[in-house]
Chains A and B, each alone.
Chain A
């Protein structure tokens, strides 16, 4: 059993929790994920590790209430226990020897982009964060991201906070203004990662994306999370979740992620703008 040590609502839809999991806290690295299961009836749900505290023995997760399990988890409180919490799974992000990086986050994806930015920042890399949100009300982790970056640019679709527009607009203008990025790390909804990859491709900038296919075991045993990268089948849970954005078949991933949409119908009251835009363009 795993204890919820801290709970903080970042906005109406997004919750942060620190979970007591000393084995995982000792090993976790940016880019890896965990799988949780609430109780014996529960499903196994993957979430990226947002932060960890090796001394306290805790792992931080940040999640959006999108389906049954994340809604139920968000109802739980400090001091409550969840049945299963396993990790760290997946390969850590390979930072090579980057000097300057743009970290691009979309919506709740910023919660996952943030630890990447922090890790790079702590390594002395120059980090620009471009954090995109639908509107002012859902902006999260602004202070944290400011501390983990050289420059923080916030965009909102409706212009209610920061700059009006999409992250791709901002990224393109920064590249065109002469910023020489060794890599772009994009984390967010699949359509957003797709468009960031399409934005950087003509410039030949290495682009890493963190994929979020449906998973069950997360250890390479079922292939439910398979994705096509550069024409080859990869299992995101063991080969990823990070992949070269220029090689990923995003349309296939979007299609596969829709498998259980009817099963979780009531859960999708929120569809982000990039997702809708992506759907229209893909048609």
Chain B
């Protein structure tokens, strides 16, 4: 008899007033008993709508059935047949718009906590599971993966399983892409990311850090001189956008990428690390996505009074519901329907405030979102000493500029055949944000997996 409770088993969390002063993980995770109880809410539907909502089609009812039986080890095996990074996805996927949005239990009451269960299983296995990593026999073919973010890791993992000799080239000094420089410790502990990467290394995947492809080696050199039979580009969309308003060059204005890189990758908030970060008294984060929520919650933990400035209303915010909810609980102030027009100078080249206009929502635009329109003479100033621009990113031009024959669209995204992920050049595949522009971890992983399949298709007969 399933557990017919309308609500998910509550996730134990650090209290808001405690967690907004530390970088430890906010959500503590289910115990075995909680996981079994939640798993019993699954009706094990025959048509499995949840699976279609998952970009990598995790066999959801099957793994949940194993959890309900208390067989966590088997549950892990079911998940990892299609998902290489369950501890990451269970934490950072926007489940409310993916698997859980399709859950039958969500029609009346809350859907099954699929993400929480996936996370529980992955964490349980990291602690208790016996990892017999089988190093597959090499098939003699070499594949280069550019970028060690979610798409590159997923692609490398799948190819290694198939016997390819895989080398990942990463530009910075630590592998993981946005998982290490972007998403903060309190949402995704870096030790977990490292464990997932270590697992790939045990499978034989080589990771070369400090290798900026397009500078130190070109894609053509990888193929012609170093003998790689195929290349997967998973270089992401890391180039930050600025608004182009007055005052963006003042001291105290950061891109979200810079702010988060200093904090997450360089650990600027810890004394023993050398990278500095200025502690703000009051800070404005401009934007409404997950990156904006991350930057805001980091700033709060560094002791600032934090404002999120977003030009539409809460309904249109692209951030995960849970992140918005967490941010509010932690004391972050939301200035909605507000658009910055100028950053003020204190006379010494530092930020003295941000001048904004009030907005109202007009007619829906082509994308279906109601576009914000400024109210006349509604100018007002928010008193801040720092500003973080979190209004989006686009793909870095380095690879497309240095590789002949790689076509891009006008936003600088690589053009691929969507069925095969092949770029406009034979043998070169791409996926993740480098193709779609800034999107989600799980979509990038899905693209990495698809890329691996196509590379296998391409190389097995070659």
Say whether A and B bind each other: yes
Which of A's residues lie within 8 Å of B, judged by CB? 23-24, 27, 37, 41-44, 68-69, 83-89, 216-217, 219-224, 226, 228, 233, 238, 249, 252, 255-256, 258-260, 263-264
Q: Which A residues lie within 8 Å of B349 (CB)?
A: 252, 255-256, 258
Cross-chain contact of A83 among B173, B244, B254, B397 (Cβ < 8 A) = B173
Contact (Cβ within 8 A) B216 A220:
no
Cross-chain contact of A87 among B216, B242, B255, B272 (Cβ < 8 A) = B216
Contact (Cβ within 8 A) A85 B212:
no
Q: Which A residues lie within 8 Å of B439 (CB)?
A: none
Contact (Cβ within 8 A) B239 A86:
no
Q: How far is the CA of A153 from the CA of B417 in the complex (A)?
A: 60
Q: How far is the CA of A69 from the CA of B278 in the complex (A)?
A: 18
Contact (Cβ within 8 A) B251 A226:
no
Number of A-B contacts (CB under 8 A): 110
- Chain B residue nearest to A259 in the complex (CB): B251
Contact (Cβ within 8 A) A216 B240:
no
Q: How far is the CA of A220 from the CA of B396 in the complex (A)?
A: 7
Contact (Cβ within 8 A) A216 B261:
yes
Of the A-B pairs whose beta carbons lie under 8 Å apart in the complex, a sample of 23, sorted by A's number, is A43-B266, A43-B275, A68-B274, A85-B210, A87-B215, A88-B215, A216-B275, A217-B261, A219-B171, A219-B238, A219-B396, A220-B239, A220-B398, A221-B257, A223-B258, A224-B254, A233-B242, A238-B397, A249-B249, A255-B250, A256-B349, A259-B252, A263-B276
Q: Which B residues lie within 8 Å of A68 (CB)?
A: 274
Q: Which B residues lie within 8 Å of A41 (CB)?
A: 272-274
- Chain B residue nearest to A42 in the complex (CB): B274
Q: Which A residues lie within 8 Å of B216 (CB)?
A: 23-24, 27, 86-88
From residue B33, how far is it (CB to closest CB) to chain A in Å?
38
Q: Which B residues lie within 8 Å of A223 (CB)?
A: 240, 242, 255, 257-258
Q: Which A residues lie within 8 Å of B262 (CB)?
A: 216
- Cβ contacts B253-283/A at 8 Å (1 or 0 each): 0110110011000100000111110100000
- Is B172 part of the contact surface with A, judged by Cβ < 8 Å? yes
From residue B190, how far is it (CB to closest CB) to chain A in Å?
12
Q: How far is the CA of A227 from the CA of B238 in the complex (A)?
A: 18
From residue B346, how far is it (CB to closest CB) to chain A in Å?
11
Q: How far is the CA of A223 from the CA of B276 in the complex (A)?
A: 16
Cross-chain contact of A222 among B210, B215, B244, B255 (Cβ < 8 A) = B255
- Is B27 part of the contact surface with A, judged by Cβ < 8 Å? no
Q: How far is the CA of A118 from the CA of B320 in the complex (A)?
A: 55
Contact (Cβ within 8 A) B398 A217:
no
Q: How far is the CA of A269 from the CA of B217 in the complex (A)?
A: 40
Question: With A44-B266, A86-B171, A88-B216 known to touch, is A221 a contact of B238 (CB < 8 Å)?
Answer: yes
Contact (Cβ within 8 A) B274 A84:
no
Which of B's residues lie within 8 Å of A, judged by CB? 171-173, 181, 209-212, 215-217, 238-240, 242, 244, 248-252, 254-255, 257-258, 261-262, 266, 272-276, 278, 349, 396-398
Question: With A27-B216, A88-B215 known to touch, is A222 a contact of B240 (CB < 8 Å)?
Answer: yes
- Chain B residue nearest to A37 in the complex (CB): B173
- Chain B residue nearest to A263 in the complex (CB): B276
Q: How far is the CA of A219 from the CA of B210 in the complex (A)?
A: 11
Q: Which B residues lie within 8 Å of A219 (CB)?
A: 171-172, 212, 238, 396, 398
From residue B417, how far is it (CB to closest CB) to chain A in Å?
27
From residue B179, how far is it (CB to closest CB) to chain A in Å?
14
- Chain A residue nearest to B396 in the complex (CB): A220
Q: List 17 additional A-B contacts (Cβ < 8 Å) besides A86-B212, A220-B239, A249-B249.
A: A23-B217, A37-B173, A42-B274, A68-B274, A84-B209, A88-B216, A89-B215, A216-B261, A223-B257, A228-B249, A233-B244, A238-B397, A256-B349, A258-B349, A259-B278, A263-B276, A264-B276
Contact (Cβ within 8 A) A69 B274:
yes
Cross-chain contact of B266 among A24, A69, A216, A255 (Cβ < 8 A) = A216
Contact (Cβ within 8 A) A256 B258:
no
Q: How far is the CA of A260 from the CA of B252 in the complex (A)?
A: 10
From residue B248, how far is it (CB to closest CB) to chain A in Å?
8
- Chain B residue nearest to A83 in the complex (CB): B173
Q: How far is the CA of A43 from the CA of B398 in the complex (A)?
A: 24
Q: Which A residues lie within 8 Å of B258 (CB)?
A: 216, 222-224
Q: How far is the CA of A89 from the CA of B248 in the complex (A)?
A: 25
Q: Which A residues lie within 8 Å of B239 (CB)?
A: 220-221
Q: Which B residues lie within 8 Å of A42 (CB)?
A: 274
From residue B214, how far is it (CB to closest CB) to chain A in Å?
9
Cross-chain contact of A44 among B252, B275, B396, B398 (Cβ < 8 A) = B275
Cross-chain contact of A256 among B171, B210, B249, B278 (Cβ < 8 A) = B249
Q: Which B residues lie within 8 Å of A221 (CB)?
A: 181, 238-240, 257, 261, 396
Contact (Cβ within 8 A) B251 A258:
yes
Q: Which A residues lie within 8 Å of B396 (CB)?
A: 219-221, 238
From residue B112, how far is it (CB to closest CB) to chain A in Å?
37
Q: How far is the CA of A226 from the CA of B239 in the complex (A)?
A: 12
Contact (Cβ within 8 A) A84 B173:
yes
From residue A85, how far is it (CB to closest CB) to chain B in Å?
7
Q: Which A residues lie within 8 Å of B252 (CB)?
A: 259
- Chain B residue nearest to A34 in the complex (CB): B210
Contact (Cβ within 8 A) B249 A222:
no
Contact (Cβ within 8 A) A217 B278:
no
- Chain A residue nearest to B171 in the complex (CB): A219
Residue from A226, A228, A264 with most neighbouring chain B CB atoms (10 Å): A226
Residue from A219, A223, A263 with most neighbouring chain B CB atoms (10 Å): A223
Q: Which A residues lie within 8 Å of B172 (CB)?
A: 86, 217, 219
Q: How far is the CA of A126 from the CA of B262 in the complex (A)?
A: 44
Q: Which A residues lie within 8 Å of B238 (CB)?
A: 219-221
From residue A41, how far is it (CB to closest CB) to chain B in Å?
5
From residue B195, how far is it (CB to closest CB) to chain A in Å?
17
Contact (Cβ within 8 A) B212 A23:
no
Contact (Cβ within 8 A) A222 B251:
no
Question: With A222-B257, A222-B258, A263-B276 known to touch, is A255 a contact of B251 (CB < 8 Å)?
Answer: yes
From residue A218, how far is it (CB to closest CB) to chain B in Å?
8
- Chain A residue nearest to B349 in the complex (CB): A255
Q: How far is the CA of A228 from the CA of B397 in the complex (A)?
A: 19
Residue from B244, B272, B349 with most neighbouring chain A CB atoms (10 Å): B349
Q: Which A residues lie within 8 Å of B274 (CB)?
A: 41-43, 68-69
- Chain A residue nearest to B276 in the complex (CB): A263
